[in-house]
Structure 1
Amino acid sequence: MKNLFTIFVSPEETFKRVRDKSKTAWLIPFILLIAISLVSIFLQMPVIEQTAKESLQVNGLADSATVDTVVAGAIIGAIVMAPLSIAAVTFIGALLYILLNLIVRGEAKYMQLVTMISYAALPGTLGGLITSIIIFATGAQSATEVSLSLAALVSDKSSMLYHLLLLVNPFSLWGLALYVVGAAVMMKRPRKTVGMWIIGTWLVFSLGSLLLV
């Protein structure tokens, strides 16, 4: 449990501490990620329901039976997808880091990278929880009404600037920094070498996604 707190204030020491306990060290943060995600979904239930209803109205399917069925399906889908998406990011993501480990000639093992991802994903998940709390507290009608990124300063949510500033989220950037620190520790390679690949890949995919806007 101590590592769940120290990961935020002394990440390098924490990753070193869990590196040799990778067979079990991933489990607690992984469960916490799922729990936080489910709480976030619960807080966003009104928004999920409203989005589903608006989708039906746009398509001209607004009878009560259809609305109830689709809304229930949207809620169940969100609840089911939360743990599945976290599992995919953690275990499939670790495979991608294994590839990076080979490129930089690191010494990391698969479960060490699973552990690293489980801890490094905590800031981003906490950011999502804070966003959900604000949405719930303010009664926001859409998830886009609340943002912890610089995009909150832009009113036109369809603009390129808005989507660009969405990338400047302190919690996401905090998590990115933890990925760099954690990967360097697990792979036993210089932080600069590992960070070049991780940050470069993040920039390519993040900026590349803007072309789809």
Structure 2
Amino acid sequence: MAPPSWLSKEQQEFILTYHEQYLECKKKGNFMSFWPPFFEKWEEKWPARVSVLKDVPLDQILTEPQLEEVAKARDTIHKRLTAKLCNDFGNSKVGRRANAAGNTIVSKLIGDIVKSEKKRSRPLKATEVYAKKYYSLRVQPAVKEELNAMKDAPGAPEPKKRAMQVVRKQLKSCWENETAEVKEEVTKLVQEMKEEREKDVSHERKELSKDL
């Protein structure tokens, strides 16, 4: 049996209201805009002073030792809350499994895309060249966001069963909504790769005819 939480039901419900904000900051890798307002709201609802100086009236001026005690209690609460949100939202078992599944299948997909063009039976498509060049910058954030959201949906399948589908969907969506400049760049790359491939095929045929 799991040990009882140090948080009340109301406090746990309060934390859940910050779920989406936390994941968004985690995706950006920057929590500067998250923690200060979160701690401020927490302090408004559950002041550290009340938790450690229950018998001291709120309108009474605190002594220096009392102020230090409150500051120490507040620091402890902040650390526990940071660990709580990290464990629940950013480092949960389900979250790690979703990321691992997504990363594994994504690696396989991108690995297939970036194979040497000479070994492929057909030229690369525009979306494949786009993935080869822009996946980590444009597509991956959307893939991670959908996989994270998937684990919270009721009755959702295991992320690894949907990861490939998510990657292909987000790749298609990103390409369709890409800027004209990037599409033009990718189209030129596709044409250059096609021409290079045709040159290689022509050269191989000439070499083969010499042997004959």
Quickly name the TM-score band, shorter chain normalised.
Answer: under 0.3
Q: Which has the higher contact order (CA 8 A, sep 6+)?
A: 1
Q: Flag the structure with larger Rg.
A: 2
Greater per-residue helix proportion: 1
Q: TM-score scaled by structure 2?
A: 0.25
